[in-house]
Structure formats: structure tokens, C-alpha cells
């Protein structure tokens, strides 16, 4: 359904060119939940914005394709993309979007506005109530103002709004940020239910691998604007191959251990990247070749690919 091919997104900055994404590939099939994980600043949200054509100056998509059912949506005129794709075929729940509701209008009013602006043909009142029910909210919530809802309720209402036009593809960027653990799990269960009942494909972006481990089919690990590894959820969680992925998995707290392992050091400055493998200053397995030549993604195990000179 979605095929991201060799996408590069660069930003101009006083410190020089920032290569936020440098040749990223990613595939999402119909009805699939795909996780995109990595540390803050690795390019996850930039990729989501790139797929949604929402990169603004000083940023620019300088190369690559985003194919949606075979159409490169980066090549479409803005108007055609807005009329045929945005909200109708793909929608996005942004980081902190639950705070994006206008405080002076009711939840129902704001959902009906989306239906009106995008030309929904059916009964707007009924559709609003159905959408709220779909995300397991009491339809009576439509008459409430955002400040009358809990964080979890607001996030559900925002997901309902994102699904107003029945898109087959949803991007959820850190949809549980600032929510308590119980609510985080309930939002994950909701996404799982939406996939099962409506067949929606979801790109789930997170820095919290533990949270997504039970709902994603496949996982992509991004580091410094490059794909470090990808594979099925069980491959990545049980047999991570790339040293960075191993570090991320080891950082997940468990009930059995009182120690949390971390990854030494920090992600490099994207305006001043080291030569060779971008992870080498932090990698416990670093070799001479890693400091000079950048490894390319290669098949390392079953359908698992990794960019690392160890393979
Ligand atoms: Fe580590 Fe080298 Fe692999 Fe990079 S290429 S992750 S430095 S072993």
C-alpha cells in the first residue's frame, strides 16, 4: 500500500545542511501495523511529515518517492493531493494532538467541521456519534468542551476525528505521549481494534519499543536519519542484529532486573555527521572499517535487514 523509496529530507540551518533523512526505505501493507522506532531526533517525525507532504521550509524533500497504491504522491499537485488523499486516504494523529482541539468549541462541533470542510455526504450528526462510539467514547461527549475530557478521552476523540473520512491509512506519531501507562495500553488496544475491524494500515511512531511490542507486525529502526534495521516484530524483539537495536531492546526495563542498560553517548549532530557508520562512536563492536565506510542495508536473517559491517 505504502512504499517509501530512498527519501531524503534536508533542512537548511545556520550550522549548514541538516540531513534529517538520508535515503530511507519503508513498506506498509494493507491492514498492517508497522512500528517506526528510534531515539528522539532520529528522523521519525520527519518521515511522518514527509509521507504526509507536510515538510515546511527550511526543510525540503530533496529526493525519493512515496508511493500510495502505486502513485507517487510527492509528484501530485498540492490541490490533487489535498482533495484525493489528505484525510480521505491518509490521516495523521500528531504528537500531542490531543491538545490541538480548539478550547472554545465542543468536540462534536470540531468533528463536524472536518466532515463539512471535506464534503462528507452523509448525516454529520450521526457520523460524529458513530465515530465517537468507534473509539469507545460515550457519544454524549460530543457536547463537551475539550477541557472537560481526560487526556485519554481527548486522544480517542482526536483519533475519531482523524478517521472521519474513513482513510485506509493512519499515521500515529507518539499517540500516547503524556498519558499514564494504563491509558497508553488502552490506546494501543484501540489501534489494534481499528485494524481488526476496519482493516486500517497504521504507521506507529514511537521511542517506546516496549509499548508497541504486542501490536506491530513489523518494525523499522531509524538512527541519525538512516534505517539501521528492519524485520518482523518477533525478529526485532527476540533476535535483534544491529548493535543499536540490541541497545534499544536492552534498555527496556523488566520486572526481573533492577538495572536498566542504556546506550553510551548521544546521537551525532545531523549537521556534522561522522564518516562511515553513524553509530560507530557509540558502538561496542566498532571496527576500523566502520569509521571509514558506511554500511548498506543487507539481508542478515530471514526477512531481517540491517546496515552493519558485522554482517
Ligand atoms: Fe557497530 Fe560497525 Fe556495525 Fe556500525 S557498522 S553498528 S560501528 S559494528
Taking the centre of ligand 1 as the mean of its atom positions, its distance from the CA of residue 291, in whole angstroms, is 9
The answer to whether the CB of 223 is under 6 A from ligand 1 is no
Q: Is ligand 1 within 6 A of the CB of residue 280?
A: yes
Tell me what the mean pLDDT of segment 33-50 comes to: 95
On whether residue 109 sits in a domain, the answer given is: no
C-beta 308 within 6 A of ligand 1: yes
Q: What is the dihedral of CA 91, 153, 191, 88, to 10 degrees?
A: -20
Contact in structure between 308 and 242 (CB atoms under 8 Å): yes
- Does ligand 1 come within 6 angstroms of the Cβ of 285? yes
Is 249 inside a domain boundary?
yes
Q: Examine residue 261 and state whether it is found in any structural domain, yes or no.
A: yes
**pLDDT above 90 coverage of the chain, percent:** 84
Residue whose Cα lies nearest atom 7 of ligand 1: it is 280
Q: Is residue 191 part of a domain?
A: no
Mean pLDDT of the chain: 94
* Tens-place pLDDT, residues 210-222: 889 889 999 999 9
Q: How far is the CA of 264 from the centre of ligand 1 (A)?
A: 14
- In ligand 1, the atom with minimum distance to the C-alpha of 290 is 2
In a domain, 286, yes or no: yes
The finding on whether 310 has its CB within 6 A of some atom of ligand 1 is yes
Would you state the pLDDT for residue 52?
A: 95
245 burial level (CB within 10 Å; 0-12, 13-18, 19+): buried
| Res. 73 pLDDT band, cuts 50 70 90 | very high
- When pLDDT is averaged across residues 6-26 and rounded to a whole number, the result is 96
Model pLDDT, residue 178 = 77
List the strands of the sheet with 2-13, edge to edge.
16-28, 2-13, 59-68, 71-72
Ligand 1 probe mutation, 226, 241, 284, 285, most atoms within 8 A of CB:
285
Q: Is residue 52 part of a domain?
A: yes
Tell whether 115 is covered by a domain: no
Position 133 scores a pLDDT of 95
Q: Are 9 and 210 a contacting pair, CB within 8 Å? A: no
Asked if omega into 42 is within 30° of 0 (cis), the reply is no
Atom of ligand 1 nearest to the CA of 286: 7
Q: Look-up: residue for cell 527476540?
A: 238
Q: Distance from the CA of 243 to the center of ligand 1, in angstroms?
A: 7
CA distance 269 to 224: 8
The set of cell numbers assigned to 94 is 500528531
| Residue 258 predicted with pLDDT over 80 | no
Residue 137 lies in a domain: no
The CA 234 to ligand 1 mean position distance, Å, reads 22
CB of 279 closer than 6 angstroms to any ligand 1 atom: yes
pLDDT digits 0-9 by tens, 259-299: 777 899 999 999 999 999 999 999 999 999 999 999 999 99
C-alpha closest to that of 212 among 195, 230, 237: 237
The answer to whether residue 12 scores a pLDDT higher than 90 is yes
How many A from CA of 286 to the centre of ligand 1? 5
Distance between CA 90 and CA 67 in Å, rounded? 12
Domain that holds residue 263: 2-76+169-182+206-306
pLDDT value at position 44? Answer: 95
Q: Ligand 1: does its nearest atom lie under 6 Å from the Cβ of 290? A: yes
The model's pLDDT over 147-200, given as tens digits with 9 standing for 90+, comes to 999 999 999 999 999 999 999 999 999 988 878 888 899 999 999 999 999 999
Q: So what's the pLDDT on residue 228?
A: 98
Residue 208: what pLDDT?
87
Tell me how many domains the chain contains.
1
| Rounded-to-10 torsion of CA 288, 19, 250, 235 | -90
- Ligand 1: does its nearest atom lie under 6 Å from the Cβ of 243? yes
Atom of ligand 1 nearest to the CA of 309: 5
- From the CA of 291, give the closest atom in ligand 1: 7
Q: Evaluate: CB of 68 within 6 angstroms of ligand 1.
A: no
Say how many Å lie between the CA of residue 248 and the centre of ligand 1: 15
Q: Are 131 and 137 in contact (CB under 8 A)?
A: no
Identify any residues that bridge with 203 across adjacent strands, giving them in sequence order: 34, 171
Place of cell 544491529: 242
In this structure, the residue with its CA closest to atom 3 of ligand 1 is 308
pLDDT reported for residue 96 = 78
Model confidence band, residue 137 (pLDDT cutoffs 50, 70, 90): very high
User: For residue 37, what is the domain's CATH number?
Assistant: 3.40.50.300
Q: How confident is the model at residue 229 (pLDDT cuts 50, 70, 90)?
A: very high
Q: DSSP secondary structure string, the chain?
A: -EEEEEEEEEEEETTEEEEEEEEEEEEE-TT-EEEEE-STTSSHHHHHHHHTT---TTEEEEEEEEEETTEEGGGS-HHHHHHHTBTTTEEEE-TTGGGGS-TTS-HHHHHHHHHHHTT--S-HHHHHHHHHHHTT--GGGGGS-GGGS-HHHHHHHHHHHHTTT--SEEEEESTTTT--HHHHHHHHHHHHHHHHHH--EEEEEES-HHHHTTT-SEEEEEETTEEEEEEEHHHHHHS--SHHHHHHHHTS--SS-S-----SS-PPPTTSPPSS-TTGGG-TT--HHHHHSPPPPEEEETTEEE--TT-
Q: Which pLDDT score is estimated for 156?
A: 93
Amino acid at each position: 500500500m505504502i512504499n517509501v523509496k530512498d527519501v531524503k529530507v534536508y533542512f537548511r540551518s545556520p550550522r549548514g545542511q541538516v540531513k534529517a533523512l538520508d535515503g530511507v526505505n519503508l513498506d506498509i501493507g494493507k491492514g498492517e501495523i508497522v512500528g517506526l522506532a528510534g531515539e528522539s531526533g532520529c528522523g521519525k517525525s520527519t518521515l511522518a511529515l514527509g509521507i504526509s507532504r507536510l515538510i515546511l521550509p527550511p526543510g525540503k524533500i530533496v529526493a525519493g518517492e512515496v508511493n500510495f497504491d502505486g502513485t507517487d504522491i510527492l509528484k501530485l499537485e498540492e490541490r490533487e493531493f489535498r482533495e484525493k488523499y489528505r484525510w480521505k486516504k491518509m490521516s495523521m494523529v500528531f504528537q500531542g494532538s490531543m491538545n490541538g482541539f480548539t478550547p472554545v468549541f465542543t468536540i462534536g462541533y470540531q468533528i463536524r467541521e472536518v466532515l463539512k470542510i471535506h464534503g462528507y455526504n452523509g448525516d454529520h450528526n450521526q457520523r460524529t456519534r458513530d465515530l465517537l462510539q468507534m473509539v469507545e467514547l460515550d457519544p454524549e461527549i460530543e457536547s463537551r468542551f475539550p477541557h472537560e475530557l481526560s487526556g485519554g478521552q481527548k486522544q480517542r476523540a482526536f483519533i475519531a476525528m482523524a478517521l472521519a473520512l474513513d482513510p485506509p491509512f493512519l499515521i500515529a506519531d507518539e499517540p500516547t505521549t503524556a498519558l499514564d501507562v494504563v491509558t497508553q495500553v488502552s490506546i494501543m488496544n484501540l489501534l489494534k481494534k481499528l485494524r481488526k475491524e476496519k482493516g486500517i494500515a497504521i504507521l506507529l511512531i514511537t521511542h517506546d519499543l516496549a509499548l508497541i511490542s504486542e501490536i506491530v507486525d513489523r518494525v523499522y529502526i531509524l538512527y541519525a536519519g538512516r534505517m539501521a534495521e528492519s524485520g518482523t516484530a518477533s525478529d526485532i524483539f527476540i533476535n535483534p542484529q544491529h548493535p543499536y537495536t540490541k541497545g534499544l531492546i536492552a534498555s527496556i526495563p523488566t520486572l526481573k532486573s533492577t538495572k536498566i542498560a542504556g546506550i553510551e553517548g548521544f546521537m551525532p549532530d545531523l549537521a556534522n555527521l561522522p564518516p562511515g557508520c553513524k553509530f560507530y562512536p557509540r558502538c561496542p563492536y566498532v571496527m576500523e572499517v566502520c569509521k571509514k565506510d558506511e554500511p548498506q542495508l543487507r539481508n542478515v536473517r530471514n526477512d531481517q535487514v540491517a546496515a552493519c559491517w558485522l554482517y
